[in-house]
A = this chain, B = another copy of it.
Amino acid sequence: MTNKAAVELQKVLDAIKPLDTEYLNKAQERLDKLAIPHGSLGRLMGFGRQYAAVRQNPMPKIQKKRIYTFAADHGVVEEGVSAFPRQVTREMVFNFMRGGAGINVLGRHAGAEVVVVDIGVDYDFPAMDGLRVMKVARGTRNMAKEPAMTRDEALKAIGVGISLAREAARDGVDIIGTGDMGIGNTTPSSAIIAAFAKAPPAEVTSRGTGITDEVLQKKIAVITAALALNKPNPHDPLDVLAKVGGLEIAGICGLIIGAAAERIPVVIDGFISTAGAVVACELNHFIQEYLFAAHLSVEKGHRIMLDRLDLQPLFDLGLRLGEGTGAALGIWLVEAGVKILTEMLTFDEAGVTEGESRF
């Protein structure tokens, strides 16, 4: 299994190329002619340019927006690293189905469909609209005692994400957001960035759902122990993902890889989604050009992840919920940038006198 899946993954990774400068230049040319002081719409203009280049379309339109929220459980929760019990993962999936969670509200607000993916929840859900059951396992194993996943499981979870990106492409989705739900999942996310950045766990670990000082110290100790025990190899991204990652993180990683291969721009959410993006970009660093980082999370490891990816977050509103809530807002802001590129008039079109603006 591993070999065949690994070969498949490599094929998808090899299909991902750097953005075509022709489209970047074409977009910039139009942006330079808009009837505004040069560059005065700031980063919004860059969002439009990047989006156009990913789509290879100088006048793109965002019509279909979709957020995939991956849910999974974590064996490491038995170490007592979270403020919430394990069953909350499945309870929140039911809340997503009711439409009453943060991601439902903000997804609706942004006009984005929310698809919830059970990639590893320790519960058998009944069939429900909007829930995709694509379970790879009933949660990870406790990384403080053994590897969280086998390499096979990690590859399989990445494959789930890739297959969803292909589905999105078939459905004509124009932009994808990522989201997560998994009690305990800031622990593997911190472990992943600690492994790649060779950072002391204390420097990349925060309070997740809101743990006390005491639990935070335990969480740091658990991550330190898991890294010492499993020795993930930072030069082998799949090894890191399998040993100290999570199933939803692997799913997000696969979704990002698949989306880049399909040339669908991806807005990554916060800390957990960015952990998936870090693994994806370690596998092929061109993927970074297909990504927008929605926001800066309160989790302190997030800044280190974003710096590693050379991504600047779109906003910082002190969010630390996950689910894809930041991605929903981010999708709408990227869309604003695309409309700046495509709906505004140029000096010529608007009959406005060009000044000597050169800022």
Residues of A within 8 A of B (CB): 34-44, 82-85, 87-88, 91-92, 94-95, 98, 100-102, 104-106, 108-109, 207-212, 298, 314-321, 325, 329, 332-333, 335-336, 339-340, 343-345, 349-353, 355-359
Q: Are A91 and B320 in contact (CB under 8 A)?
A: no
* Given A212-B358, A359-B210, A350-B40 contact (CB < 8 Å): no
Instruction: Known contacts A44-B319, A106-B339, A350-B95; decide if A88 and B355 are in contact (CB<8 Å).
Output: yes
**CB within 8 Å for A98 and B318 given contacts A105-B343, A332-B332, A344-B105:** no
A353 near B101 with CB under 8 A, answer: no
Asked if B321 contacts A357 (CB within 8 A), the reply is no
Question: Chain B residues near A38 (CB, 8 Å)?
Answer: 210
CB–CB B42/A352 < 8 A: no
- A109 vs chain B, min Cβ distance (A): 5
The 6 residue pairs across chains A and B that have the minimum distance between CB atoms:
A42-B318, A100-B345, A210-B359, A210-B357, A84-B355, A37-B209
Additional 7 contacts, C-beta under 8 A, given A83-B358, A210-B357, A315-B316: A34-B102, A43-B317, A83-B357, A94-B351, A100-B343, A100-B350, A105-B339
Query: Which residue of the partner chain, among B41, B92, B210, contacts A325 with CB atoms under 8 Å?
Result: B41
A39 contacts which chain B residues (CB < 8 A)?
Answer: 210
Give Cα A225 to B222, complex, Å.
65
Interchain CB contact under 8 A, B212 and A88: no
Known contacts A345-B101, A351-B91, A353-B88: does B212 contact A339 (CB below 8 Å)?
Answer: no
A317–B292 Cα distance when bound, in Å, is 13
- Give the docked Cα–Cα distance between A108 and B358 (Å): 29
For the complex, what is the distance from the CA of A40 to the CA of B186, rounded to whole Å? 14
Partner of A321, one of B37, B100, B321: B37
Interface pair B319/A102, CB less than 8 Å apart: no
- Could you tell me if B35 and A101 are in contact, using CB atoms closer than 8 angstroms? yes
* Residue picked from A82, A87, A106, most chain B C-beta under 10 Å: A106
A109 partner residues in chain B, CB cutoff 8 A: 332, 335-336, 339
Q: Are B319 and A40 in contact (CB under 8 A)?
A: yes
Are A101's CB and B355's CB within 8 A? no
In the complex, are the beta carbons of B319 and A350 less than 8 A apart? no
A358 close to B210 (CB less than 8 A) = yes
Please, which residues of chain B bring their CB within 8 A of the CB of A104?
A: 343
CA distance A208 to B211 in the complex (A): 46
